[in-house]
């Protein structure tokens, strides 16, 4: 009964490859997010989708492309991987967007990406 | 972009000691959240504070939101090894908007 799940848990790949990370939430939430946590543990938002619509797109290289086939899924595709992309990527979801104060975000377990 | 600074960055203490972690900003936040993250896991919400001066308690953890809603603190009484983890504060600029995370405080409680 995992709330927010991500696959794979670990991803090791060569520079220049294209890879995808999948995220699914079974909480019935409207909003999903992708965060990047670097080696210093700094957690930074990359994208946010609300009901399959992109609402936050931080300054992220266009090699990163999120895709939301439905509101329970938000996948992250990365083209031409670079060494600096190595990090832990977290998916999260929350019930609402911009309607009530302080929405709780529920995080997935993370995907550790290592680019060699 | 509003920045949140956490201090200390690293804290290693003995079981039974008390500690305080600080989260500061020059900007005002509509609310502030504290998360704990354990190795190999995602952050888990501990508490949300929304009113300036608000104090919330969660067992041995006491959270306070500054009067001006620019800062917050987390105080742990009689720390236990199970409290070990990365503590993250996160602020919401306006109601229902994105979260900005602090840099985190890595706490280690030694038995």
What are the tens digits of pLDDT across the range B5-59?
Answer: 999 999 999 999 999 999 999 989 988 999 999 998 999 999 999 999 999 999 9
Tens digit of pLDDT at every position of chain A (116 positions): 669 999 999 999 999 999 999 999 999 998 899 999 998 888 999 988 888 788 777 778 999 999 999 989 999 999 999 999 999 999 999 886 654 445 688 999 999 999 99
B48: nearest CA partner in chain A: A102
Q: Say if residues A41 and A32 touch (Cβ distance below 8 Å).
A: no
| Chain B residues in contact with A43 (beta carbon < 8 A) | 43, 88, 101, 104
| Chain B residues in contact with A107 (beta carbon < 8 A) | 42-44
Put simply, whether A4 touches B (Cβ < 8 Å) is yes
Q: What percent of chain B has pLDDT over 90?
A: 82
- Give pLDDT, residue A101: 46
Interchain pair A101, B44: CB under 8 A? no
Interchain pair A43, B88: CB under 8 A? yes
| Chain B residues in contact with A47 (beta carbon < 8 A) | none
Out of B33, B42, B50, closest to residue A90 by CB:
B42
Put simply, whether A89 touches B (Cβ < 8 Å) is no
Put simply, whether A66 touches B (Cβ < 8 Å) is no
Dump strand ranges (E) for chain A. Answer: 4-7, 10-13, 19-25, 31-37, 43-50, 53-57, 64-70, 73-78, 87-94, 106-107, 111-115
CA distances to A5, A28, A65, B41 from A61, in Å:
25, 30, 9, 26
For A15, counting Cβ atoms within 10 Å of its Cβ (0-12 exposed, 13-18 middle, 19+ buried), the class is exposed
Higher pLDDT, B7 or B1: B7
| Chain A residues in contact with B96 (beta carbon < 8 A) | 96-103
Put simply, whether A3 touches B (Cβ < 8 Å) is no
């Amino acid at each position: 009964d995992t709330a927010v799940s991500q696959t794979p848990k670990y991803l090791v790949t060569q520079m220049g490859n294209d890879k995808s990370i999948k995220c699914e939430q079974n909480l019935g939430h409207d909003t999903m997010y992708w965060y990047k946590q670097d080696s210093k543990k700094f957690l930074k938002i990359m994208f946010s989708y609300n009901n399959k619509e992109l609402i936050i797109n931080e300054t992220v290289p266009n090699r990163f492309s999120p895709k939301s086939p439905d509101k329970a899924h938000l996948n992250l595709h990365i083209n031409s991987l670079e060494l600096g992309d190595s990090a832990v990527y977290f998916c999260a979801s929350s019930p609402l967007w911009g309607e009530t104060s302080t929405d709780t975000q529920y995080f997935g377990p993370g995907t550790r990406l290592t680019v060699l | 972009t509003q920045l949140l600074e956490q201090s200390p960055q690293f804290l290693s203490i003995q079981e039974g000691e008390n500690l305080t972690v600080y989260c500061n900003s020059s900007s005002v936040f509509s609310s502030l959240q504290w998360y704990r993250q354990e190795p190999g896991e995602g952050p888990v919400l501990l508490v949300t504070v929304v009113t300036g001066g608000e104090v919330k308690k969660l067992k041995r953890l006491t959270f306070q939101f500054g009067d001006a809603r620019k800062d917050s603190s987390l105080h742990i009484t009689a720390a236990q090894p199970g409290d070990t983890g990365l503590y993250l504060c996160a602020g919401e600029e306006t109601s229902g908007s994105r979260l900005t995370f602090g840099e985190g405080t890595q706490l280690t409680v030694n038995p």
